[in-house]
Structure formats: C-alpha cells, structure tokens
C-alpha cells in the first residue's frame, strides 16, 4: 500500500470544525493534492433554519503538526490555480486566529477544499514517514452566495 492518510472530524459544529489527520506512508514517494477538508461534506452553518446552507469556504485558525524529518507538508487551497496556504516541517504549531486566520484567496475555480501534498526536503523521501495534523477551521459562506 503506497500511503494511508486519514482525516477524522473531532468537532463539526455550525461554525467550527476540528479535525485530526494521520498518515503512515511506507513508500518513498510524494502525496499529491489529497483532499484534507471539504466544506461540502461538513454540517450546515444554519442548523435549525430552512435552507440548510453549507459553508463554501474554510478559514484555517490553528494547526498543530508533527512530521517526519526530511518531509515538507503543504496545505493548499484548491482552485483552478491552487494556492499554497502553508508549508509545515518538523514539529510545532501555527496560531493564526489572532490575525484573522489563513484566508482562502477565493480565486477562479475555488471549491473550498483544503488539499495536502508532501515534498522531500532533501534529495529523496525517507523510506517511511508519518504525518500528524490537528487543524481548527471556521466555516463561512460569502454574502454573494446568500451566506449567513
């Protein structure tokens, strides 16, 4: 099996989503643009109201990460021309809530998905590597789409 990446939703409320992503990769190759979070698969943003609006975009407020040395994880906003949100290496956390979070640039072809890709930081990938991410996002829907 080339790789196993799994995302478990820990909290999926009307505003916030918390997810944990784990991966044990037993191949010396990259993960290319695998969907990490998709707002279309999360619960609606107006529970109890008619219309059942779904979020169309996510804002990334916090990331805890632990990644095998020699591997860089890219989180990417999906669009016609994908945009790299952040590159993660080693272990640490990013707290972005205090400055409004990492915002989706909402360019042409944006579908709100956050993708995950890996890149070797050296000449080649390690034979086996692992990825652990805990992400905290906020759902939203632009007003032009009838958002709340």
Which tens digit of pLDDT belongs to each residue from 19-44? 999 887 766 667 777 888 999 888 88
**Per-residue pLDDT tens digits for 97-134:** 988 889 888 878 888 899 988 887 766 666 778 889 99
Q: What is the distance between the alpha carbons of residues 73 and 52, in angstroms, rounded to a whole number?
A: 34
CATH architecture of 3-141: Sandwich (2.60)
In the predicted model, is pLDDT for residue 64 greater than 90?
A: yes
Q: What is the distance between the alpha carbons of residues 56 and 58, in angstroms, rounded to a whole number?
A: 7
In the predicted model, is pLDDT for residue 70 greater than 60?
A: yes
What pTM, to 2 d.p., does this model score? Answer: 0.84
**Cα of 75 vs its chain's centroid, Å:** 6
């Amino acid at each position: 099996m080339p790789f196993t990446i799994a995302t478990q939703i820990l909290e999926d409320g009307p505003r916030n989503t918390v997810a944990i992503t784990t991966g044990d990769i037993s191949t010396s190759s990259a993960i290319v643009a695998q969907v990490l979070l998709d707002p279309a698969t999360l619960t609606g943003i107006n529970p109890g109201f008619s219309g059942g609006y779904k979020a169309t975009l996510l804002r990334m407020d916090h990331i805890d990460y632990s990644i095998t040395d020699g591997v860089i994880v890219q989180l990417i906003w999906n669009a016609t021309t994908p945009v790299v949100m952040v590159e993660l290496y080693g272990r640490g956390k990013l707290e972005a809530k205090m400055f409004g979070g990492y915002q989706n640039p909402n360019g042409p072809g944006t579908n709100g998905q956050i993708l995950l890709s890996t890149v070797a930081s050296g000449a080649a990938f390690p034979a086996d590597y692992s990825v652990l991410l805990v992400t905290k996002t906020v759902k939203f829907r632009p007003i032009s789409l009838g958002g709340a």
